[in-house]
Chain A
């Protein structure tokens, strides 16, 4: 699945630096990274290794300082803010560690927020059903458990049937059992919709779920391997 012609995303020499000349921080140092349609990649690495930065660049939340990042024919580095916004809306779904649900919207409304302006979006209730929360559609985030909130966040990300589903520590705030339920949801989305999924985590066990595991350290890819067979999410434990 690593042939360039099948790549949804292709990054070459991707770099990101923060701060002024005096106190410059190199978050990413020339990373090459491809992502194929239907592929599930887990990015592993310690804090500060650059995995979240890479995820933000892939999702168009941030801009690279150097390098190229192609989504099909689209070079994200060349896009203005408006075009980046459209890119996120049409092609990307996000899941964050902090769930980031809008407290004043119900589960179904939070999911509907992800469908705004996207023609191919599925019904919010269908997306919720996909993560096993059809019955809790009208609850507010404060009325849901952490795992349920994160599954709502997954539903919000997939409601638009994105090409990419980018997850930043999706189980970071959850216990093992709840985390597994969320991972099952991600796995199902990946298989059912052939959505390319990138999961950032510092939890090596989750790597078993992936087609490919990419290990980052100090802003660079230090190792990368492909799993012979993907583990079932329910068999994972940490």
Chain B
């Protein structure tokens, strides 16, 4: 009976308060939806990838080695833990396409033998596998085929091993090994300028002059086998056979590492942002519950006078919060599951998984229900305790009016703005907690938006700094093999070439006081102008002749400060020590730089270069590209504009998608927060406003007062919200920071304007809706109730 009646009251109260409650429910629902969406997306992508890897036998270990006899592969297969080993041929190639005047780099990979081990099995998308008797048939990666409109039957002119070949596309395929195909020097995939081409092993061996040898191993291990142990065994076996190989596990496989970093990024932001939403929702619920308890004081009083105990009263308000949480789940769960599917499909398209496994993360659903329930109880705890502790004799009386305090400058306000303005001011000063709660709620509405919107500003800043201020070349060329320094002079003579700067990319391990990191050490001219280094204030830095420049993140990883001596151990060559001369800002990748000439002098090879930064005259671009196409030394060509485009595209299709969903939720939440705040504030003041109406204040004056209070709260909330947004943004930036991308905390004026605009629009809309309620105030009824 107790439960029945009070619960009936609760349900009817909820219905009566549905308009006010809807705002709170919407914010909670946004939190629920973001959690369910994020986790479902992450889980689905992770499961899809795991299934893809499993079905297509994605290798666990990879080895690149000088050409070796096939018999060596048989020995590798006998290593304990190795269940399959594909001995392959991998080599560079070039593609010329009519209508595309830039050089296209290709990685040629031999097709698995028909009866060979199932390692990195292709997922055919179009056409068929090459016929056994057609050495001229190839399979190309579906991304490249799509980018250029190629398909089965299309012909490609390829340069392999210094010779031109005309090949026919038999099919297009996806491979777990190249979910993202990253060309030489590329940090983000560029489907138009890099291709994976699979060809029959014998045909490729003949083209590259390898005969019965192989130069690449892909190994699958038994479930549970240690990759580290197997890698050591492979290393040992190859070394024993006099083969110097680079053996690595999945973590250093470029495609896997890229996908992994993307999923990690999604995971990080997918946990953090929903957590922020939930925090804001809990705050709003808490603030609203405090106000509801205050509004229901007389009811609390009578229930207690009737002999209901404190615990029952407290429980009643906890139940109210739980009911709101349940309503939020009813809205948020399907929204999260549905949006999760949409977002997963977009990602699956980007990640090019051949199949998609989407399923709501039931664990996340259960967890979010538990967390939401716990959060709702947490939010309701203090208000419920307050209701429980309210002495019945006090509760049945109207709240004692607080003594009015004179406000400094009050008379001046009266003179200039009239009595209503003073009432607004007094209201704010008399009830600072209420003003504070309103201001904080609106500040969170602003902050939530800034914390999600800033990602777009950060992306612009990354592009501007990394590809605008730091990199000023027209294109970067990667050589097929290290070349003498003098090659640069040859390139400088190509038609249209205006400026050429060499670079030497050297895989090396940097060590400092026990901390170590494998990086690509870049040798660039000390006075480089095409690829400039920027200090942490983004001012250009000149490289010291004999010192290292480390990117901020790398310096952080190594714990390096200016003057520390870092040991540089090149993959091939003797180690040497160098002091850290500069810490540079770099938003993409880990960077270690030193003077090109100094680096050359430290190597046995003497001054060499592995690539060049070039600037050419626009009008001579075609001639320059023709010279490039004709050169056999070029393995990769990356125009800066294309790289920027690819970078933007990559970001647009990864981080931006989920961030956009968050931005949308933040806007909804902002509207809901402001609306709920306005509605609760109006309910609190309904009687007071009725008295003012009876005293002869017009509707417009009353509306002005309501709007004035809200305007004051919004005015206070905007700068506070900006600070909240920056704080939340900083947390997001810390969470997103990884070796690939360092997102800067930059908030552009557009984000501030959007956040402020949304809140202002919400305030205006809510005030307009409130105006309707003010007009409907039954002055007589309200006064009678006030007098009673």
- Residues in chain A within 8 A of chain B (CB atoms): 56, 59, 61-62, 81-82, 85-86, 88-90, 92, 94, 96-105, 109, 112-118, 146, 156, 172-173
Whether the Cβ atoms of B306 and A96 lie closer than 8 Å is: no
Dominant secondary structure of chain B at its interface with chain A: helix
Binds A, one of B9-17, B51-59, B160-168, B642-650: B9-17
- Residues in chain B within 8 A of chain A (CB atoms): 1-2, 5-6, 8-9, 12-13, 15-16, 298-299, 301-310, 391-393, 396, 398, 784, 787-788
A-B contact pairs, 17 of them (CB 8 A): A56-B393, A85-B307, A85-B309, A88-B307, A94-B306, A97-B788, A100-B396, A102-B303, A105-B8, A112-B5, A116-B1, A116-B2, A116-B307, A146-B784, A156-B306, A173-B784, A173-B788
A89, A101, A102: which contacts B307 (Cβ < 8 A)? A89
Known: A98-B396, A116-B2, A173-B784. A104 touches B9 (CB 8 A): yes
Q: Other CB < 8 Å A-B pairs besides A90-B307, A96-B302, A102-B302, 12 of them? A: A56-B393, A59-B305, A61-B396, A85-B310, A88-B307, A94-B305, A98-B788, A109-B9, A113-B6, A113-B306, A116-B5, A118-B307
Whether the Cβ atoms of A96 and B396 lie closer than 8 Å is: yes
Bound Cα distance from A75 to B624, whole angstroms: 105
Whether the Cβ atoms of A113 and B5 lie closer than 8 Å is: yes
Known: A62-B393, A105-B12, A117-B2. A100 touches B307 (CB 8 A): no
Shortest Cβ distance from B393 into chain A, in angstroms? 4
Bound Cα distance from A99 to B9, whole angstroms: 17
Complex: chain B residue closest to A86, CB-CB: B307
Complex: chain B residue closest to A150, CB-CB: B788
How many A-B pairs have beta carbons closer than 8 Å: the answer is 93
Bound Cα distance from A89 to B308, whole angstroms: 7
Complex: chain A residue closest to B305, CB-CB: A94
B8, B305, B784, B787: which contacts A88 (Cβ < 8 A)? B305
Whether the Cβ atoms of A114 and B306 lie closer than 8 Å is: yes
10 A-B pairs with least C-beta separation: A89-B307, A104-B12, A100-B302, A61-B393, A62-B393, A173-B788, A56-B393, A88-B307, A98-B788, A85-B309
Complex: chain B residue closest to A109, CB-CB: B5
Complex: chain A residue closest to B781, CB-CB: A142
B5, B6, B298, B309: which contacts A82 (Cβ < 8 A)? B309
Residues of chain A with a CB closer than 8 A to B2's CB: 116-117
Known: A61-B393, A96-B302. A102 touches B9 (CB 8 A): yes
Whether the Cβ atoms of B13 and A104 lie closer than 8 Å is: yes
Residues of chain A with a CB closer than 8 A to B12's CB: 104-105
A92, A101, A116: which contacts B308 (Cβ < 8 A)? A116
Whether the Cβ atoms of A105 and B308 lie closer than 8 Å is: no
Bound Cα distance from A117 to B309, whole angstroms: 11
Residues of chain A with a CB closer than 8 A to B303's CB: 102, 113
Whether the Cβ atoms of B788 and A85 lie closer than 8 Å is: no
Residues of chain B with a CB closer than 8 A to A96's CB: 302, 305, 396
Residues of chain A with a CB closer than 8 A to B13's CB: 104
Whether the Cβ atoms of B1 and A117 lie closer than 8 Å is: yes
Complex: chain A residue closest to B1, CB-CB: A116
A86, A89, A105, A173: which contacts B9 (Cβ < 8 A)? A105
A104, A112, A113, A173: which contacts B787 (Cβ < 8 A)? A173
Residues of chain B with a CB closer than 8 A to A99's CB: 788
Which of B301, B310, B396 has the largest count of A CB atoms less than 10 A from its CB?
A: B396
Residues of chain B with a CB closer than 8 A to A115's CB: 1
Bound Cα distance from A228 to B33, whole angstroms: 74
Known: A105-B8, A116-B2, A146-B784. A61 touches B306 (CB 8 A): no
Bound Cα distance from A81 to B784, whole angstroms: 34
Residues of chain B with a CB closer than 8 A to A100's CB: 298-299, 301-302, 305, 396
Residues of chain A with a CB closer than 8 A to B298's CB: 98, 100
Complex: chain B residue closest to A173, CB-CB: B788
Residues of chain B with a CB closer than 8 A to A103's CB: 16, 299
Residues of chain A with a CB closer than 8 A to B6's CB: 113
Bound Cα distance from A209 to B147, whole angstroms: 98
Residues of chain B with a CB closer than 8 A to A88's CB: 304-307
Bound Cα distance from A112 to B1, whole angstroms: 9
Residues of chain A with a CB closer than 8 A to B8's CB: 104-105, 109
Shortest Cβ distance from B598 into chain A, in angstroms? 79
Shortest Cβ distance from B314 into chain A, in angstroms? 13
Residues of chain A with a CB closer than 8 A to B299's CB: 100, 102-103
Bound Cα distance from A175 to B788, whole angstroms: 12
B302, B304, B398: which contacts A85 (Cβ < 8 A)? B304
Complex: chain B residue closest to A56, CB-CB: B393
Complex: chain A residue closest to B14, CB-CB: A104
Residues of chain B with a CB closer than 8 A to A98's CB: 298, 396, 398, 788
Bound Cα distance from A62 to B398, whole angstroms: 16
